[in-house]
Amino acid sequence: MPRFAANLTMLYPELDFLDRFEAAANDGFEGVEFFFPYAYRATQLSTRLRDHGLELVFFNATPRAHPDERGIACLPDRKAEFRDGFLRALEYAHVLSCRRLHVMAGIVPPGADLQRLRATFIDNLIWCCAQARAAGRDILIEPINPRDMPGFMLSRQDDAHDILKAVGAANLKVQMDLYHCQIVEGDVAQKLRTYLPTGRIGHLQIAGVPDRHEPDTGELSYGYLFDLIDESGYTGWTGCEYHPRSSARGGTSAGLDWMLAAHARRAASLVSSLASSLASSPASSLTPAPVPTPSPGSPAAY
């Protein structure tokens, strides 16, 4: 069963951000993720993680200069700003014991040279992968659908994997959001079968399609996809990056029946597998060995 991480930027919206850590732990999450940590001291966040026994799975590597910004890694005139921000992100990652940093490509400016933007993105990724490797971190890039994020430079899974090949760094991986993938391309199950075995998927994310609510309604059969993910051998985290249907107090927790069902489904599968294994085992292997009878006069007879 996938290991689920709560996206604290989107879940528990009725709570102050720092109170969402406790809420996630109370709901059984062992991992969390969020977009930007920079409004808080790293030590504040590390205390919340430690106090509630949570692992920080990833966060975004560069802060926003304004609310509409969606990364700057592909923008040639902001290369120095990107790299300064990335070094700051590495400092946060060290304090927060976070292994993964998400580098967002950015929005394509009107009339921009796409080849130049792509070359800048690749050049920045080569540089930040080297910095991250020295610090023991992985870098993630994510294809995002143009309906939610118009003009974002990266939207397709195959394009993301082509960029991985161009960069050539083992610590660069794809953050595969199944919600975005379904909207842009569909055929999600086949794409999981194609890309998970490569080992180049560093993180998964889920949400219902098309409304981006809990993953229990809509176009995708997540029970089927969770089984497929299990069969692939993927052991990484799966981020719950969706907007709860209810933003009222307790709305996120009330909407987690899908996760309880997923765990129950996995437990039932394990029990069934064990029962089948026992039923097919030779009877001799299930019969306890006889206890030898001590011979008269031996010490064990008294």
Question: How many independent structural domains does the chain possess?
Answer: 1
| DSSP secondary structure letters along 16-78 | -GGGHHHHHHHTT--EEE-S--TTS-HHHHHHHHHHTT-EE-EEESS--SSTT----TT-GGG
Residue 280 forms part of a structural domain: no
Range of the domain at 88: 3-262
Mean pLDDT of 106-113: 97
CB 25 within 8 A of CB 53: yes
Mean pLDDT of 25-35: 98
Query: In this predicted structure, what is the pLDDT of residue 285?
Result: 53
Residue 299 forms part of a structural domain: no
Mean pLDDT of 144-154: 97
pTM equals: 0.89
Tell me the catalytic residues.
142, 241
Would you say residue 302 has pLDDT above 50?
A: no
Residue 212 burial (C-beta neighbours within 10 Å; 0-12, 13-18, 19+): middle
Residue 283 forms part of a structural domain: no
Question: What tens digit of pLDDT does each residue of 206-263 get?
Answer: 999 999 999 999 999 999 999 999 999 999 999 999 999 999 999 999 999 999 999 8
Residue 293 forms part of a structural domain: no
Residue 292 forms part of a structural domain: no
Query: In this predicted structure, what is the pLDDT of residue 64?
Result: 82
Helix (H, G, I), strand (E, B) or coil at 97: coil
Residue 236 forms part of a structural domain: yes
Mean pLDDT of 281-289: 56
Residue 34 forms part of a structural domain: yes
CA distances from 56 to 4, 5, 32, 99, 140 (A): 12, 9, 5, 8, 14
Residue 138 forms part of a structural domain: yes
What whole-number distance in Å separates Cα of residue 179 and Cα of residue 254?
Answer: 21
For the chain, percent of residues with pLDDT exceeding 70: 90
CATH at 63: 3.20.20.150
